[in-house]
Chain A
Amino acid sequence: TQLLEQSPQFLSIQEGENLTVYCNSSSVFSSLQWYRQEPGEGPVLLVTVVTGGEVKKLKRLTFQFGDARKDSSLHITAAQPGDTGLYLCAGARNAGNMLTFGGGTRLMVKP
């Protein structure tokens, strides 16, 4: 059983559409991070959220941390083919360095 549940697992959309990826848990996290991974490469950090209710924007990507720090969402506006990849959420339970990863959302954006 995944401590962090990501949904959907797979998403195939057309260029220009909007999408939201969800990351949910019954546990409280001290911080939550989002990564994007492309085939043959390691995950690349997109954002870290630390405060409950926090919203961060990175160009067309909007990240939100739930008020109770148990869930998070990633919203992409006007998706582009370059957004294609595996999106991973990861939570830290304390001040230490161990992360628990969600199962990932595989996004494909078709031109």
Chain B
Amino acid sequence: KAGVTQTPRYLIKTRGQQVTLSCSPISGHRSVSWYQQTPGQGLQFLFEYFSETQRNKGNFPGRFSGRQFSNSRSEMNVSTLELGDSALYLCASSPGQGTGRGYGYTFGSGTRLTVV
């Protein structure tokens, strides 16, 4: 069973540019969540998509957006990049019934974004 695939693995962008990251979840999983991981703040929740709808959103500015396609693949977009956006962006796949009921995430390896 294939794992969670994130592309690209590494990305270097200039301030002011925009970037799109991609995530393909485990086959059959309908929920895709995105997290930002930095040394100072740890893992912070960005948003979750379930059946093409944003179901939860974290406390990030509107420059951060995402979407999910009918095949459950998801993309996240960051516009007008700032130096502070440099981070590891992680995608997490789950069946969708809720981590509160004990279903865990399967994470991808992440996309390391560096903004210069």
Contact = CB atoms under 8 A, between A and B. Distances in A.
Contact of B107 (A40, A42, A103): A42
A43 interface: yes
B105 A50 contact: no
Contact of B56 (A40, A41, A97, A104): A97
Interface residue tally on B, bucketed by range:
20 to 34
A77 B98 CA distance: 31
B24 interface: no
Contacts of A30: 100-101
Interface of B: 4, 31, 33, 35, 42-45, 48, 50, 55-56, 58, 90, 92, 94, 96, 98-110
Interface in A83-111: 88, 90, 92-104
Contacts of B42: 2, 88, 101-104
B68 to A, nearest CB: 13
A31 interface: yes
Nearest to B42: A103
Contacts of A104: 42
18 contacts: A40-B109, A41-B109, A42-B110, A43-B90, A45-B106, A48-B99, A94-B98, A96-B55, A96-B99, A97-B50, A97-B56, A97-B96, A97-B100, A99-B99, A101-B35, A101-B42, A101-B43, A104-B42
